[in-house]
Amino acid sequence: MALAFAHSQGQALQLQAALYVVATPIGNLADITLRALQVLEAVDELLAEDTRCTRRLLEHFGLARTVTSCHEHNEEARVGQVLTWLRHGKSVGLVSDAGTPLISDPGYPLVRAVREAGFPVAAVPGPSATIAALSIAGMPCNEFLFAGFLPARAAARRARLKTLLAEPRLLVLYEAGRRVPELLADITARAGATRQVVLLRELTKMHEEVAAATAGALLARAESGELELRGEFVVLVAAAAEAGDLAEALRIRDLLQEEMSPSRAAKLAARITGVDRRSLYGGATGGK
């Protein structure tokens, strides 16, 4: 069944009995798409992560309509209701507070259930903080690893980071500003102070800011209060290709240590490989 919508001669958009997953702005409201507006107006039922937040968005665009909550605590329970709506021929929209639903946002159980029940699920694509960040960071991003939010508890977060930082792919993380210093400290401890990091703050908003430097330099700026930490962040961590170099440097250092002092071995291994000498001292074993 084709999902193309009919929008002809001033008539309201005719939508099918399908779930429409609609992306909304991540800051700048002008980033809403024309199709998103059409669908938000035309769907018979609209599910939103936070109904107040979505009502504000709708009001901004002069859309008055009913909105039903669908968040991480009730989305499993909503499935039955949505399937009933679809069986009655109704179209259903799904939005989150900002950006693309399901991307570190609720919606996965619903989308899966609707698909499994044989109803179409249509994407109404638009903003996502990940893609916005990658598009302006100036990092190679043909391949990347999206990991979203790390666990809040320190031990679990460090364990997850240990695995992620060993990956030979650009890493994409979401984080609240107040927790960025702790994250930078963990990255520095795990991957060394020289791993490249890009912090992208308040994308598309008035105070959008990009800071690119080594993890160690950014940590020093965060600790000195020089780095603005208010707002929402995407954190990009360079691929562990450098960690591959580091692994080789550590192997050379360990061989040299059989013949000389640890500090001299570290110095020489750094000169041979070009890896920062500080990464080769003591227990800094590049994420091992």
Q: Which residues bind ligand SAM (CB under 6 A)?
A: 26-27, 96, 98-100, 103-105, 128-130, 174-176, 200, 202-205, 232-234
User: Over the range 69-89, which residues count as b (16 or more CB within 10 Å of their CB) and which as e?
Assistant: ebbeeebeebbeebbebbeee
State in angstroms the smallest separation of the CB of 131 from ligand SAM: 8
How many angstroms separate the Cα of 194 from the Cα of each of 52, 187, 263? Answer: 43, 10, 19
State in angstroms the smallest separation of the CB of 236 from ligand SAM: 11
State in angstroms the smallest separation of the CB of 240 from ligand SAM: 22
State in angstroms the smallest separation of the CB of 156 from ligand SAM: 18
Measured from the CB atom, is 96 or 196 closer to ligand SAM? Answer: 96
Contact (Cβ atoms closer than 8 angstroms) between residue 248 and residue 285: no
Helix (H) or strand (E) holding 248: helix 241-257
How many angstroms separate the Cα of 218 from the Cα of each of 50, 72, 133, 245? Answer: 34, 34, 17, 22
Measured from the CB atom, is 91 or 130 closer to ligand SAM? Answer: 130
The residue type found at 243 is A
State in angstroms the smallest separation of the CB of 174 from ligand SAM: 3
Contact (Cβ atoms closer than 8 angstroms) between residue 95 and residue 61: no
State in angstroms the smallest separation of the CB of 228 from ligand SAM: 13
Measured from the CB atom, is 131 or 270 closer to ligand SAM? Answer: 131
Residue of this chain nearest to ligand SAM (CB atom): 99
Radius of gyration of the chain (CA): 24
Measured from the CB atom, is 82 or 236 closer to ligand SAM? Answer: 236
Measured from the CB atom, is 175 or 242 closer to ligand SAM? Answer: 175
Helix (H) or strand (E) holding 34: helix 34-42
Contact (Cβ atoms closer than 8 angstroms) between residue 204 and residue 132: yes
State in angstroms the smallest separation of the CB of 54 from ligand SAM: 13
Measured from the CB atom, is 41 or 209 closer to ligand SAM? Answer: 209
Write the DSSP symbol of residue 277.
G
> Which three-class secondary structure string do you get for 195-223?
CEEEEEECCCCCCCEEEEEEHHHHHHHHH
Measured from the CB atom, is 144 or 174 closer to ligand SAM? Answer: 174
State in angstroms the smallest separation of the CB of 135 from ligand SAM: 12
Length of the chain: 288
> Which three-class secondary structure string do you get for 70-104?
CCCCCHHHHHHHHHHHHHCCCCEEEECCCECCCCC
Measured from the CB atom, is 199 or 243 closer to ligand SAM? Answer: 199
